[in-house]
A and B are shown apart, each in its own frame.
Chain A
């Protein structure tokens, strides 16, 4: 027995004059193609995202102390570096900004090319993308800066002390590094 519902001309008027059509079966076969195409696209994009995730999510960045320790193996390879901007060290240059980045008591000089983001300031944690200088020093040359803001929110125009307490929140241990003697 064939149960395929009729379509088109057989459409009948209902009791109130409204035209009723049986759902067409041919629509089903037609809608299969876009759905399959969407599934394929989703799988492909999902695979791409997964590869990206495994490749870069686990070692998303290196802290300053780790990067300095791995100086020789890193060479001039490109990687992401995280640390806190040392107060009073940032100096505008022709092509960007130079400053000292610190983490866990270890410091290194940074030469950044390009305008820093609006939220760039002392004691704020930043992520840099770039490489060590070719001369073998620990100078880091970056061309991408991302400000890593904290999860703490305080109202503007508050007591300065309260602000200072939460300001260096991301890497609290770094502030201790200022007192350490530097070579």
Chain B
């Protein structure tokens, strides 16, 4: 992710000050190493140390990726809605970029949730997909996120573009609530929540619960690492856009000055 934006960001003739030239930093490198360690630990506990399920056998192991992915997709949606609200309310550019970066990561994690869910559904339910309320509302969430990203990329005045996207961003958390509650509100094929099913009591035991916990840590670290890099990339992109405009203005000014010089007869050889 250490994209070399350096050669481009030197475009500003006067020197753009101390703009970062990569999305990496010491902190994110440490975070990246922790993420890799956590994912290796998850593979160890998820695939080797935790037992197979009494009913499902080894298929249960998809749970350790599926549930944390869904949870962090929700977190991403929450950040996008929060950022969108703060942009509309306070015109905070920083939060607008958080919303944008977070929506992309949330879309990725929602897609991972759907993909792992389908792979889990085939051996347990017997089908990849049914149009029950949980699956349908999750598909809607993915489409809403893609819609947000499409609108955010539509070329327009930055303020118009951000405002349009932010309005869609506000819809994400309500959709997340529908996804989350769908198994309680409607009859679904998808099972009800396992964690905190009765207060603090969870319907999962011992090493399986611990493997799920490791899954939350690993996917959470991955989410954070991706989000930080995506945010920095979005910020650098915005700097580049502004610089591009400045550069164009400077060039036109120089051209106009040269024309004036030519008209007054002070011609350079």
User: What is A's interface to B at a CB cutoff of 8 Å?
Assistant: 1-6, 14-16, 18, 20, 22-23, 28-29, 31-32, 35-36, 38-39, 42-43, 45-46, 49-50, 52-53, 56-61, 82, 116-119, 124, 127, 144-158, 163, 166-167, 169-170
Which of B7, B140, B150 has the most C-beta atoms of chain A within 10 angstroms of its own C-beta? B150
- Neighbouring A residues of B197 by C-beta, 8 Å: 151
Structural contact, A60 and B125, CB atoms closer than 8 A: no
The answer on a CB contact under 8 Å between A14 and B203 is no
Asked, given contacts A28-B155, A119-B126, whether A3 binds B143 with beta carbons under 8 Å apart, the answer is no
Can you name 5 extra interface pairs (CB under 8 A) apart from A118-B126, A153-B56? A3-B248, A116-B126, A146-B130, A149-B55, A153-B60
Check if B29 is an interface residue, CB within 8 A of chain A.
no
Residues of B within 8 A of A144 (CB): 127
Q: Which residues of A contact B192 (CB under 8 A)?
A: 151
Q: How many residues of B contact A (CB 8 A)?
A: 59
- Encode B223-250 as 1/0 by CB contact (under 8 A) with A: 0000000000000000011001001110
Which residues of A are found within 8 Å of B55, using beta-carbon distances? 119, 124, 149-150, 167
Whether A39 lies near B123 (C-beta < 8 A) is no
30 inter-chain pairs at a CB distance below 8 angstroms, sorted by A residue, are A2-B252, A5-B244, A20-B247, A35-B154, A42-B147, A46-B144, A52-B131, A52-B136, A53-B137, A57-B131, A58-B133, A61-B187, A118-B123, A118-B126, A119-B55, A119-B126, A147-B125, A148-B191, A149-B55, A150-B191, A151-B192, A151-B194, A153-B54, A153-B56, A153-B194, A154-B54, A155-B52, A155-B207, A156-B57, A166-B54
Instruction: Confirm or deny: B206 has a beta carbon within 8 angstroms of a beta carbon on chain A.
Output: yes
Q: Closest residue to A54 on the B side, CB-wise?
A: B136
Q: How many A-B residue pairs have CB under 8 A?
A: 165
Task: Give the residue name and chain of the A residue nearest to B187 (CB).
Answer: A60
Least Cβ distance of B233 to chain A in Å? 16
Chain A CB within 8 A of B51 CB: yes
Query: Do B189 and A18 have beta carbons less than 8 Å apart?
Result: no
B204 touches A152 (CB 8 A): yes
Please, how many angstroms separate the alpha-carbon atoms of A124 and B126 in the complex? 14
Pick the residue among A50, A118, A147 that contacts B140 (CB under 8 A): A50
List chain A residues, Cβ under 8 A from B153. Answer: 31, 35
Known A52-B131, A119-B56; judge A18-B154 contact (CB<8 A).
no
Q: Is the CB of A153 within 8 A of B187?
A: no
State whether A155 and B132 are in contact (beta carbons under 8 Å apart), knowing that A28-B155, A35-B155, A118-B123 are contacts in the complex.
Answer: no
Whether the pair A153, B248 counts as a contact (CB closer than 8 A) is no
- A158 to B54: give the CA distance in the assembly, Å: 8
A56 pairs with B10, CB closer than 8 A: no
